[in-house]
Structure 1
Amino acid sequence: MSPEPQHFLDGRRILLVEDDPIMGESLAQRLAIEGAKVRWLSNGSEALRHFSHAAPELVICDIRLPDMSGEEVFRKLADGGASAPFLFITAFGDIDQAVRLTRAGAGDYMAKPFQMDTFLGRVKSLIRSRADETGAPVLGGTPEMLRIEAMLRRLASSPATVLLTGETGTGKEVAARFLHAVSPQARKPFIAVNCAAIPNDLLESEIFGHERGAFTGADRRHLGYAERAQDGVLFLDEIGELPDRLQAKLLRLIEERSFSRLGGEAILPLRARLLAATNRDLEQAAREGRFRADLYYRLAVVSVDLPPLRERRDDIPWLAGQFFDASLDRDRNILRGFSSLAIEAALAHDWPGNIRELRNRVERAVALAPGEWIMPADLFPQRRGDASAQADAGTLSAARDAAERRRIESALRETGGHVGATARLLGISRTTLWERMRRLGIHAAQ
């Protein structure tokens, strides 16, 4: 086994629930020294309230808490869909309970007192297993996108049909390709079909194929997408646009895992895994009779909803950087990156076209930006010379205030609203933080 990296816990999000101030501070400080981002809470109610915001990779929890037991915290979070492993800290008399919780899927437990090195070893073991599952972020770094990415990784080895939903441009095909790339069939074909882009009279032939003479103009056998996908993935995009007649055929394809080419009698097996995507509310369409309910339930064995970009603004700089690197020709471009004003403008934009719009704007800016840095007008050329748009964008001072507000609010979320911890995280005094929060109209969580 290779040696543990020196900074293995760097950036790892850990939720510590411990009411003993001495032990809590000792564990929080040591984990922070190891590089972890620690949120220390003293009771179960706070842990339940802050869990969704913290999106921790590990929960370290005392079994005996002042308002409820650690077991209650674990079971309530598990019932709510949380999957982060728990490391329980327990007194000798609670060991039987800790063992029962471990068998229920908690992760591990440690009996007090314990050596700090042993404790860190257990933490790293649980974090390592979590890291092996999730890997480095690919779809985004916000808690919601990390949760979606972890779910897709878990689905990768399953044959279950997956329905990806979300607005146009949110990256449904990217998510489908990611799922395929981390699956055991990654080297097999990925066949994408846009059901809205192919004329209805040709769509059946394109999906299922046809034999020679099946219809006028069919002068040779044609293999459809279902056959060409082989042992890989058949991805049906814009599945909500599928005509009624083909909805019935697709239902039979899913149920029987077999099909025939148009004009043919041979029964061919469907070997590929089926993924589908839509920007429509198929559940509502099924209730209203605009989409087959039985097909909807077959498609939505697992449903994954991708949030719009305006709801995951913290991903905008990261995504913009990805698209910048992909578009840049370093032999021809003198560009060094995005100016702070360009990032501020991007963060203020609502992105109705979502990730697709961001990619297109970055590619255009890389191609046409005249200077070393991409400026707001390079991303949003329609604003150039528009006084009202420039007024909306605000002054440099306003842009700085907006950036400072976001950083403070992010730090407050990381520390659960604890002003002293937030000040330490930001490297400023508590008095300075209070003054800036007052000036920017920021209120600490109660």
Structure 2
Amino acid sequence: MPHEIPRIGLIEDDPIMGESLQERLSLEGFDVTWWKAGEAALSDRRVKLAELGLMICDIRLPDIGGEEVFRRAAESPGAPPFLFVTAHADIDQAVRLMRAGAGDFVTKPFAMDEFLSRIASAMRPATGTSEAPHLGVSPQMRRIEETLRRLADQRLAVLLSGETGVGKEVAARFLHAVSSRAAHPFVAVNCAAIPADLLESEIFGHERGAFTGAASRHLGYAERAKDGTLFLDEIGELPLALQAKLLRLLEEGIFTRVGGETSLPLKARIVAASNADLASAVERGAFREDLFFRLNALWVELPPLRERIEDIPWLMETLFPADQAMSRGIRGIGSLAEEAALAHPWPGNVRELRNRLQRAAALADGEWIMPRDLFPELGMPAPEDMFPTLAEVRDAAERRQIERALEVTEGQISETSRILGISRTTLWEKMRRLGIPGRD
């Protein structure tokens, strides 16, 4: 996959300087979006701040100052570093912004070579899109993959949230694999699958004679993880008493085996996951607020599969049990099955997709996986329904692509037509013919 073009945001109210900088940076290979006011940049739904490698911002703007732009942008997840352009009179303000976390500043007038050097230094590191995807090909999963790479060697615990089946353990294993702990154990614990009265002993271990049946010392998961990663899945199922001990483990980095007196150091890094809304659990008194805030410091939410349908074809190819299928004479997944998968809401997310593919590979009776193999609950379609006309297939694909683009642009017809590479008139005609309501 080719390298992604670095994206830069430019906020400059001077039309001559703004146009000059946009043209020069474009020639340097950057994808530049230019705004003439701060509010316009902050409210532009077409550009997500997390997708920018750098924001170049004049400190003095006609509506709100560059400092206000920076402080409001910093509230957004994944906000880019800022390179401020300022006059000599504003240097004190620029220095204050550097202390607040901005990237750099340059004073007017400046030499272009120096300016380009400052951009290179302040630019957020490349996302590594030239690498093969591990979690998905959609923009959402690419950003999550990059976020996990940045968090890989942090000491703090990470909280992964998302619906059942979205791939939280897969994300946790990826986080472990790209960290310096990769050569050490990855120990996964499903907190919902272990009886509550055994959970403490399983996580922290126990000494001989700690309770009836404890015939010997038992090392818990926290010890067995050594210098690796301890993954606590479904952490919302932990009993309140055990939550208190986990909080101590996170804050002090020590624990004690059940029945023991010696404090032991935690060497592993903790990654937790939950499909429950922990904030609501805190309000109900089912989850400790202090533990929630401790875990919430590094929080990554994985979106459901229905919100990233670009991943479906990639996942079907990745998860398809090819060896099993080949042994039965199955050549692969048919295009009609892929179309059916793209239209399915996937309430069970990636886990449901994997299970359906495995069942289809085991039971399909043709050379290609068909919709009925993936979705047998829909019944056997009539022969004419199994083979829609090419016009119907084309219309379904166009409708899906137009609806995706409209969602990205929030219904802006001009921007949607630009993304799709067609005129506004053609887009309106296709929307009318396909029954897609206009939102402009």
The match for 1:361 is: 356
Partners of 2:61 and 2:120 lie apart in 1 by: 24
The equivalent of 1:80 in structure 2 is 76
Q: Where does residue 344 of structure 1 map in the other structure? A: 339
Do the aligned residues in 2 keep the contact of 1:405 with 1:442 (CA within 8 Å)?
no
Whichever residue aligns with residue 323 of structure 2, its letter is D
Give 1:282's aligned residue: 278
Please point out which of 311, 314, 324 is paired with 2:307: 311
DSSP-derived class of the 2:127 partner: helix
Where 1:79 maps in the other structure, the secondary structure is coil
Cα gap change, 1:102 to 1:218, in 2 (>3 Å):
closer
1:404 corresponds to which of 384, 394, 398: 398
Q: Alignment partner of 2:281: what SS?
A: helix
Deviations 1:165-214 (CA, angstroms, capped at 9, x unpaired): 22211222222222222322222211111122123343333222233444
Contact 2:325 2:332 in 1 (8 A): no
Q: How far is 1:223 from its partner?
A: 1.5
In structure 1, the residue matched to 2:426 is 432
Tell me the percent identity.
Answer: 61
SS in 2 for 1:223: coil
Displacement of 1:66? 5.1
- What is the deviation of 1:77? 1.1
Q: Determine the structure 1 residue equivalent to 2:319.
A: 323
Counterpart secondary structure, 1:234:
strand
Seen in structure 2, the aligned counterparts of structure 1 residues 95 and 322 have a Cα distance that, compared at 3 Å, is farther
Task: Tell me the secondary structure at the aligned position of residue 329 of structure 1.
Answer: helix
- Confirm or deny: 8 A CA contact 1:368 1:378 kept in the other structure: yes
CA distance in 1, matches of 2:12, 2:392: 40
1:44 is the counterpart of 2:44: no
Separation of aligned partners in 2, 1:375 and 1:116: 58
The verdict on how the C-alpha distance between 1:112 and 1:431 changes in structure 2, with shifts beyond 3 A counting, is farther
**What per-residue deviation string (whole Å, max 9, x for no partner) do you get for residues 56-92 of structure 1?**
2234545265544444433321133442234456688
C-alpha change, 1:253 and 1:65, in structure 2 (3 Å) is closer
1:58 corresponding residue in structure 2: 53
Moved more, 255-264 or 186-195: 255-264
Number of residue-to-residue matches in the alignment: 434
Over 3 Å counting, the alpha-carbon distance change for 1:335 and 1:43 in structure 2 is farther
Match of 1:377? 372
Matches within 5 A, 1:166-205: 166-205=162-201
1:242-281 correspondence runs (5 A): 242-281=238-277
Query: Structure 1 residues 137 and 207, CA, compared in 2 at 3 Å: closer, same or farther?
Result: same
1:240, distance to aligned residue in structure 2 (A): 2.2
> What aligned pairs does 1:118-137 form with structure 2 within 5 A after superposition?
129-131=125-127, 137=133
Q: How has the CA–CA distance of structure 1 residues 356 and 135 changed in structure 2, closer, same or farther, with 3 Å as cutoff?
A: same
Give 3-state SS (helix, strand or coil) of 2:273's partner: strand
1:225 CA drift (Å): 1.0
Q: 1:99 to 1:243 in 2, by over 3 A?
A: closer
TM-score by length of 1: 0.77
Is residue 324–residue 361 contact of structure 2 (8 Å, CA) maintained in 1?
A: no
Measured after TM superposition, the shift of residue 164 of structure 1 is 2.3
Could you say which residue in structure 2 is the equivalent of 1:235? 231
SS of the residue 2:323 aligns to: coil
| CA-to-aligned-CA distance 1:202-251 (integer Å, 9 cap, x gap) | 33332222334444443433211111111222222122222344344434
- Contact 1:43–1:66 (Cα < 8 Å) also in 2: yes
Q: Distance in 2 between matches of 1:17 and 1:320?
A: 42
The code of the aligned residue for 1:383 comes to: L
**Matched residues in 2 for 1:258 and 1:416: separation?**
49
Q: Distance in 1 between matches of 2:374 and 2:28?
A: 40
Provide TM-score, normalisation by structure 2: 0.78
Aligned equivalents of 2:343 and 2:254: distance in 1? 50
Preserved contact between residue 6 and residue 126 of structure 2 (Cα < 8 Å) = no
Question: C-alpha displacement at 1:353, in angstroms?
Answer: 0.9
Instruction: State the match for 1:206 in structure 2.
Output: 202
Provide the rounded CA distance (Å) in 1 between the counterparts of 2:30 and 2:362: 40
Q: Residue 162 and residue 424 in structure 1: after superposition, are their counterparts in 2 closer, same or farther (change >3 A)?
A: closer
Q: Summarize the alignment of residues 156-175 of structure 1 with structure 2, pairs less than 5 Å apart.
A: 156-175=152-171
Alpha-carbon separation, structure 2, partners of 1:305 and 1:289: 22
**Cα offsets for 1:15-65 (capped at 9, x unmatched):** 454566777667667777877665555543332123575342234545265
Q: What SS is found at the alignment partner of 2:306?
A: helix
Unaligned 5+ segments in structure 1 are: none
Superposed CA offset, 1:362-382 (max 9, x none): 333445555565432232222
